[in-house]
Amino acid sequence: LHYLCGYLGIVPEEFEVLPVFLKVENMSQNPTKVDLPNSFITIGEKQTSYMDTDSVVDRIAKNDADAARALGTVLGVFGGVAGVVGGVAGAVVGTGLGVVIDSSKTGSATVEGHYYRQSSSPVFIQPKNSGSGLVFYHFSKEDFDCEGLTLSVPIVDLNTNNISNAKFTFKPANFKKIKGERK
Amino acid sequence: MRQSILFCLFSVLILMMSGCAAPQLKKDDLLFEPVIDKVISDERPVFIYVEDFGFAKTIPDPSIVGEARIGMFNAPASILSQDPVHTIITDQIKNAFLEAGFKLEEKEKADFTISGRVERFWVNERPAGMAESSKASVKYDLIVKDRQGRFVWGENVIGKATSAKTLDTTKNDVPTLINALKNSIESIFLNDSFLRAVGQ
């Protein structure tokens, strides 16, 4: 995580952004919408909110001149981020880690362009289909040593307008393992 | 004499710090015409109802649409809009559907109801080598439902625009934002899945 964040300019201590790989499968009979702007992460009694990809890129460009230049340069090497996989109207498929950005597949795209392409999509998911990609959350530097965190993602049934909440719990051990591996 | 020099220096300093004012998005800026082909024929009219759009939590203040860098010291200043972003999008979507040949109708009588939520409507200035450029992005959900309230089509519509590089890009901020909005709206009517969904 540190490795990826550092390369892209997301230095958690400075930019306080947590990238998460999210995959949602629509196992219901109706089309659904993944309501990312209303998703959040709970850390103890604290809640931290979703950041859209443009805001993440803006934050990087604003705070770090080197990172701002990197956004316009050719890609180099990427690492992995924390990942969760979940199913709508069904059981959670699994939680864990996912290496989502592979340098061998990025070609000559810019870092910024790659960010957009890797963002979670589609948010409108037909039955038996899935959407996946990167999602970003505000994350205070002191929370990187937290005991555990839970990601809550509202899912809207587009025919009935019913809203269900998909919850994914990160294992702190896995979270720290990534940090350790990537240092 | 010394007091006069100090006064002049102070005045110059104030001028350098303030520079020009931040731009504002005015109603007149929104009188642009998107390039949209007529997709609905007069012989087979399609009636729609457009609900007022909302805005997501990602927009803390719908009357602020960007951040300019003004004056000698590039001080950040909010770009304000006369209308809130969700009103702008609602109005522009209505205009665009009319341009494409759809007809507005009351909700009960309409073939389709259009609704949505704005997630981003923002322009800011980025360094580009020795110069800088304005960068804008517009993003909103667009949902089409039939008369029975069943989902027909939905998309996270995105429009982006970047101005040419210049030494002071502040004057390009609002036009770049309008371009991003225009791009987003035009993309809807070029989307085959949308046209199929509304029976064209």
ipTM score assigned to the predicted complex: 0.83
Looking at the complex, does the CB of residue B97 fall below 8 Å from at least one CB of chain A?
no
Looking at the complex, does the CB of residue A50 fall below 8 Å from at least one CB of chain B?
yes
- Picking from A49, A121, A159, the nearest residue to B57 by CB comes out as A49
Looking at the complex, does the CB of residue A130 fall below 8 Å from at least one CB of chain B?
no
B156/A124 touch (CB, cutoff 8 Å), yes or no: yes
Q: Is the pLDDT of residue A82 over 70?
A: no
Q: What is the pLDDT of residues B138-180, one digit of tens each?
A: 999 999 999 999 999 999 999 999 999 999 999 999 999 999 9
- Picking from A37, A54, A158, the nearest residue to B57 by CB comes out as A37
Q: What is the mean pLDDT of chain A?
A: 68
Taking CB atoms and an 8 Å cut-off, how many pairs form between chains A and B? 48
State the pLDDT at residue A14: 63
- What type of residue sits at position B25? L
Q: What is the pLDDT of residues B70-88, one digit of tens each?
A: 987 889 999 999 999 999 9
Contacts of B122 in chain A (CB under 8 A): 54
Looking at the complex, does the CB of residue B196 fall below 8 Å from at least one CB of chain A?
no
State the pLDDT at residue A96: 33
State the pLDDT at residue A171: 62
- Compute the average pLDDT of residues A87-92: 38
- Picking from A30, A37, A68, the nearest residue to B56 by CB comes out as A37
Percentage of residues of chain B with pLDDT beyond 90: 72
Looking at the complex, does the CB of residue A162 fall below 8 Å from at least one CB of chain B?
no
Using DSSP, how many helices (H) and how many strands (E) does chain A show? 6, 10
Residue bearing the bigger pLDDT, B68 or B2: B68
Q: Is the pLDDT of residue A58 over 80?
A: no
Q: Is the pLDDT of residue A132 over 90?
A: no
Looking at the complex, does the CB of residue A158 fall below 8 Å from at least one CB of chain B?
yes
Cα angle at A96 between A95 and A101, to 5 degrees? 120
For chain A, the distance separating the N- and C-terminal CA atoms, rounded to the nearest angstrom, is 8
- Give kind and range of the element (H or E) at residue A83: strand A81-88
Contacts of A55 in chain B (CB under 8 A): 58, 120
State the pLDDT at residue A116: 75
A37/B126 touch (CB, cutoff 8 Å), yes or no: no
Tokens (6 digits) for A19: 């990238």
The pLDDT confidence band at residue B134, using thresholds 50, 70 and 90, is: very high
Q: Where are the alpha helices (DSSP H) in chain B?
A: 2-18, 85-99, 173-188, 192-197
Looking at the complex, does the CB of residue B56 fall below 8 Å from at least one CB of chain A?
yes
Looking at the complex, does the CB of residue B130 fall below 8 Å from at least one CB of chain A?
no
- Picking from A49, A123, A159, the nearest residue to B156 by CB comes out as A123
Separation CA B200–CA B197 (nearest Å): 7
Rounded to the nearest angstrom, the minimum Cα separation between B154 and chain A is: 6
Contacts of A50 in chain B (CB under 8 A): 57-58
Q: Is the pLDDT of residue A11 over 60?
A: no
Dihedral sign of CA atoms B18, B23, B24, B26 in order: positive
Tokens (6 digits) for A39: 């998703």
- Nearest residue of chain B to residue A40 (CA atoms): B57
Among A31-45, A90-104, A107-121, B21-35, whose mean pLDDT is lowest? A90-104
Q: What is the DSSP secondary-structure string of A111-172?
A: HHHHHHHHB-B-SEE-TT-EEEEEEEEE--GGGGG-S-EEEEEEEEETTT--EEEEEEEE-H
B58/A61 touch (CB, cutoff 8 Å), yes or no: no
For chain B, the distance separating the N- and C-terminal CA atoms, rounded to the nearest angstrom, is 79
The pLDDT confidence band at residue A144, using thresholds 50, 70 and 90, is: confident
Contacts of A51 in chain B (CB under 8 A): 58
Q: Taking a contact as any Cβ pair under 8 Å apart, which residues of chain B between 1 and 20 contact chain A?
A: none
The pLDDT confidence band at residue A86, using thresholds 50, 70 and 90, is: very low
- Compute the average pLDDT of residues A160-164: 93
pTM for this predicted structure: 0.81
Q: Taking a contact as any Cβ pair under 8 Å apart, which residues of chain B between 147 and 186 contact chain A?
A: 149-151, 154-156
Separation CA B65–CA B79 (nearest Å): 6
- Reference A176, options A153, A143, A154, A133; nearest CA is A143
Looking at the complex, does the CB of residue A140 fall below 8 Å from at least one CB of chain B?
no
Rounded to the nearest angstrom, the minimum Cα separation between B150 and chain A is: 5
- Picking from B119, B127, B141, the nearest residue to A52 by CB comes out as B119
Q: Is the pLDDT of residue A162 over 90?
A: yes
State the pLDDT at residue A147: 76
Q: Is the pLDDT of residue A49 over 50?
A: yes
